[in-house]
A and B are shown apart, each in its own frame.
Chain A
Amino acid sequence: MVAALPHPQRCSRFTPSHDVSHRQSQIGRALMAILLAHVLEVCMNSRERVLLALDHKEPDRVPIDFGGLVTSMHHVAYRRLLEHLGMPSEPVQILDTFQQIVDPASEIKEMFHVDVVGLFPHSGSNYEFELDEETDSFVDEWGVVYQRPPGGFWYDLADAPLKEGTIEELEAFQFPDPRDPARVEGLREEARRLLEETDKAVMIHAPIGGVYEQSYWVRGLENLYRDMACNKPYVEALAERILEWLLDFWDLILEEVGPYVHIVELSDDLGSQYGPLFSPDLYREIYKPRHRRLTELIHSKTEAKVFLHCCGSIYWALPDIIESGIDIINPVQVSAKDMDTDRLKREFGRDIVFWGGGADSTRVLPFGTPEEVKDEARRRIEHLAPGGGFVFGTIHNIQAEVPPENVVALFEAAYECGHYPIGS
């Protein structure tokens, strides 16, 4: 059936007949839009705003995220931001040791109009974080060693526990207990508190990367790549064990907090600056089906949307990512090849929510002027926001060298240019 089109003559009756009234009408419409935006904003809280956007509808303005595991800020840049804003730069709450990012203060989140709040599962009961100050290194729950080079900004993989890369070694390797009750101790209460005492959308974060990422943390990146080229059965066996861990983990977590969360954060970087890191065939054979199994479990346990952090040039993978049941893609790394936001929105905007995309974090955000940052943010909003399905955020964590003026400009632009209708 063909839908009836509005009769053109009916519209033309309201077309002003001369310039002055036309201009008045334009000004009037603009004022109405601003007024409407403010009225809506008063009526709409952060959570409603995010949920509408995730539902591919236009809220009052583009929701803003800042302060999650992949949308926060290095502590050095953060301290500089606090100084710039005339606020004391201590104490600073480190959210993640490995990345050296902060949990920004609530005043900053309010200032930046942040609409999302994070919820973080705990470590297992057998694990205690301990920093070896002499070597500036620590070991995680899986036996992965992280070390920071002198003068470095964050920690990196220094030693991986799976050294041989054999099935026997893998079978004998003790994974931490995914169902350790310590992981959810007090988590339901915290989730309920966030739901009841804040008006933000609640995002629960994964403590480890996805099936592929965790494979290289426990095996070492170069080793895993060798395995990919020479020992595919091993790569698959490792992926399967990690998937089993993740299924158990999310089953436990969502049993506790499923009704209270709106977004479940997963992570698996598939792209380099220029395209796939490894063969797309291998991704489709080994990792994609496991992403699917994980999203099926998550969707069966909660109404929350599934968010995948996937860096790099991933245009080639987006149809597969959508088929895997992922609802939200982050960080929309605009500096990478084929990540033109205009085309991404046109081709995939109906099927996936874009989360991030704020401003090119390799060139504009660290090295541009505040005006350039604003221009870029405005352009990304114009591309990604129409029709909803967009949450504004930084493209990965803001790194140490980013000037505070640019950070402020970024979030000012997100708010100022993010009111619907976009471009009004």
Chain B
Amino acid sequence: MDLKLIGEKVVEGDASAVGSLVRQAVADGVPPLEIITRCLLPAMSEVGERFERAEFFVPEMIIASGAMRAGLAVLRPLVVEDQSGAIGYAITGTVQGDVHDLGKNLVGMMLEGAGFQVQDLGADVSPQRFVKAARESRTGIVALSALMTTTLPAMKRTIEALEQAGVRDGVKILVGGAPLTQDYCDEIGADGYAPDASSAVRKAKELLGVL
């Protein structure tokens, strides 16, 4: 089969086609890792580029990410964890007091699409939960999201909690969300700011040095 088709269906956001094409490719003997690296990851990179060129918008990003996940769902059980090809570990969450998770979910999906192993803590996440997850992972990205100016202080509190728990230095903190700016990122001592899901991937890779 033509492996290119898998990528095309990811970009189109056709989850059921991606699922069945991936299953077929596996049955044809294509190594699962090759399907991830040759089909799924380049497709999500294409989705990010189309978003940046204003050809894709949030709806297209959501369904493309869903299609990518449908492919990963087939492949994950087939690849041994340490050979999954993950380029890094990322914890995502919307900070305490803020339940808005659409942007955060997109960041998570795009990170996954770029080859990160993602642990999503959800929305309205307390600093303590971020600390617990970061302590367990010890490494990688901690991505904090906030939609409102009123919840920005919770972002700062989360970073302070990571510092107090002694896990701050082991991770790279990425921040994003509508009211965020590079200045605020610098002020609260985060490592990187990204204005959208696509640039979040670039920034995360840059922070971990996996460009």
CB within 8 Å of B: which residues of A?
74, 147, 149-153, 156, 158, 221-222, 225-226, 228-230, 272-279, 361-363, 366, 399-401
| A229 touching B63, Cβ below 8 Å | yes
Taking a contact as CB atoms closer than 8 A, the residue among A151, A156, A277, A361 that contacts B149 in the complex is: A361
User: In whole angstroms, how far apart are the Cα atoms of A399 and B98 in the complex?
Assistant: 14
**Which of the segments B22-30, B51-59, B77-85, B164-172 contacts the partner chain?**
B51-59
Closest to A365 in B: B149
Taking a contact as CB atoms closer than 8 A, the residue among B57, B58, B99, B105 that contacts A149 in the complex is: B99
Q: Dominant SS at the B interface?
A: loop
How distant is B100 from chain A, measured CB to nearest CB, in Å?
7
CB within 8 Å of A: which residues of B?
13, 54, 57-60, 62-63, 66, 96-100, 102, 105, 123-124, 148-151, 153, 178-179, 181, 195-196
How distant is A282 from chain B, measured CB to nearest CB, in Å?
8
* Complex interface: chain A residues within 8 A of B57 (CB): 276-279
User: In whole angstroms, how far apart are the Cα atoms of A61 and B196 in the complex?
Assistant: 40
* Complex interface: chain B residues within 8 A of A401 (CB): 149-150, 153
| B99 touching A156, Cβ below 8 Å | yes
| B124 touching A149, Cβ below 8 Å | yes
| A226 touching B149, Cβ below 8 Å | no
Taking a contact as CB atoms closer than 8 A, the residue among B59, B148, B181 that contacts A363 in the complex is: B181
Question: Could you give 19 example pairs across A and B, Cβ below 8 Å?
Answer: A147-B99, A149-B96, A149-B97, A152-B151, A156-B99, A221-B102, A225-B58, A226-B66, A228-B59, A229-B63, A272-B58, A272-B178, A276-B57, A279-B57, A361-B149, A366-B149, A399-B148, A399-B150, A401-B150
| A274 touching B59, Cβ below 8 Å | no
Taking a contact as CB atoms closer than 8 A, the residue among B66, B100, B178 that contacts A156 in the complex is: B100
* Complex interface: chain A residues within 8 A of B96 (CB): 149, 151
User: In whole angstroms, how far apart are the Cα atoms of A215 and B181 in the complex?
Assistant: 30
User: Lowest 9 CB-CB distances: which A-B pairs, in order?
Assistant: A229-B59, A228-B59, A225-B59, A149-B124, A229-B63, A362-B179, A152-B97, A151-B97, A153-B150
